[in-house]
Structure 1
Amino acid sequence: MPHAEVTAQSHVDQGLRAQLLACWTDVANAGGAVGFVAPVTAADVEPLLAAVVDRVHEGRALIALLRVDGEVAGFAVLSLSLSPLRRHWATVLRVQVHPSRQRQGLGRVLMSGVHDIARARGMEFLHLTVRGGTGLEAFYQGFGYQEFGRMPGAIRVAPGDDRDELHLTCRL
């Protein structure tokens, strides 16, 4: 059985950045609902990754990094609120497991790790969105997430293929 762990990363060096970029690009090209529609190149993903890394280095986000036997296997972004009124809330973004590691229960490991990281930092609630039509809401419901709203047709994956954006929240 491989050893899987999730750790909070508050710094992203060039090596980790390259691994995150490769993972994100591969997940998007495998059809993952992570901000893109396939096909994409690393050059397409890089500007969004750069924005995430900037937020991490500014202390406004953390990377929840999934490693399996020491190798990067996926990640999620925990976006922190700067408002003193909302510091007990965070938003989970870009949850992904590399296609070569999917169907091994690692998505559950990653989300459990995200929750552990959030709790350790005093978070009481998490928010995330999912692309309608993927069935992902059932996965998150298994962690206690509940839908509280949706934006009809908010995501256009192709001409004539608009999807709802579902908003989910969970009390930790």
Structure 2
Amino acid sequence: MPHVEVTVSTRVDDDLRACLLDLWTDVTNAGGAVGFVAPVTRDVVAPVLDGLVERVHGGTQALCVLRVDGEPAGFAVLSTSVSPLRRHWATVLRVQVHPSRQGQGLGRVLMAGVHDAARARGLEFLHLTVRGGYGLEGFYERLGYEVFGRMPGAIRVAPGDDRDEVLLLCRL
């Protein structure tokens, strides 16, 4: 039985960055709705990852890394607000599990780790969005999220292929 854990990283070294870059590229190219449209190369993903790393190092985002036997197998980001009026909630971004690890319940493990990290930071609510047309709402609803809105056609994945952005909220 593999050892599975979710850790919160406040620093991203070169090795972790390389793993995250490969993971994000592989998830996108397998059809994952994580900010890009396949096909992508590492060169396309790298600047976005580097922006994420800067925010993690700056303390405005926390990186929740899913590890299987010590190796990164997925990640998600907790993005907190700088507004004093919104310090009780965060946005969850870029939730992903490597395609070779999908279907093993690791998405639930990752999100449980995200929830634990959020509670440890005193957060009361989490917000996230998903790309419509993938059925992802059901996954998050089973984790306690509620759909509270939909922005029709907000995501253009290709000319003539607009998808809804579905907004979800979870009370911790």
3-state DSSP of counterpart to 2:84: coil
- In structure 1, how many angstroms separate the alpha carbons of the residues matched to 2:3 and 2:142? 23
- Counterpart of 1:43 in structure 2 is 43
Mapping 1:142-157, distance limit 5 Å:
142-157=142-157
- Counterpart of 1:13 in structure 2 is 13
List structure 1 runs of 4+ shifted beyond 3 angstroms. none
Give the deviation of 1:166 after TM superposition.
Answer: 0.4
Q: Aligned partner of 1:112: which letter?
A: A
- In structure 1, how many angstroms separate the alpha carbons of the residues matched to 2:149 and 2:48? 25
Give the deviation of 1:85 after TM superposition.
Answer: 1.2
Give the deviation of 1:160 after TM superposition.
Answer: 1.2
Give the deviation of 1:157 after TM superposition.
Answer: 1.1
- Counterpart of 1:158 in structure 2 is 158
- Counterpart of 1:114 in structure 2 is 114
- In structure 2, how many angstroms separate the alpha carbons of the residues matched to 1:109 and 1:118? 14
CA RMSD of aligned residues (A): 0.6
- In structure 2, how many angstroms separate the alpha carbons of the residues matched to 1:68 and 1:86? 33
Number of residue pairs the alignment of both structures matches: 172
- Counterpart of 1:93 in structure 2 is 93
Determine whether 1:82 maps to 2:53. Answer: no
- State the TM-score, normalizing by the size of structure 2: 0.99
- In structure 2, how many angstroms separate the alpha carbons of the residues matched to 1:39 and 1:71? 25
Q: Which runs of 5+ in 2 are unaligned?
A: none
Q: Aligned partner of 2:159: which letter?
A: P
- State the TM-score, normalizing by the size of structure 1: 0.99
- In structure 1, how many angstroms separate the alpha carbons of the residues matched to 2:52 and 2:60? 9
**Larger displacement relative to structure 2 (105-114 or 81-90):** 81-90
- In structure 1, how many angstroms separate the alpha carbons of the residues matched to 2:2 and 2:159? 42
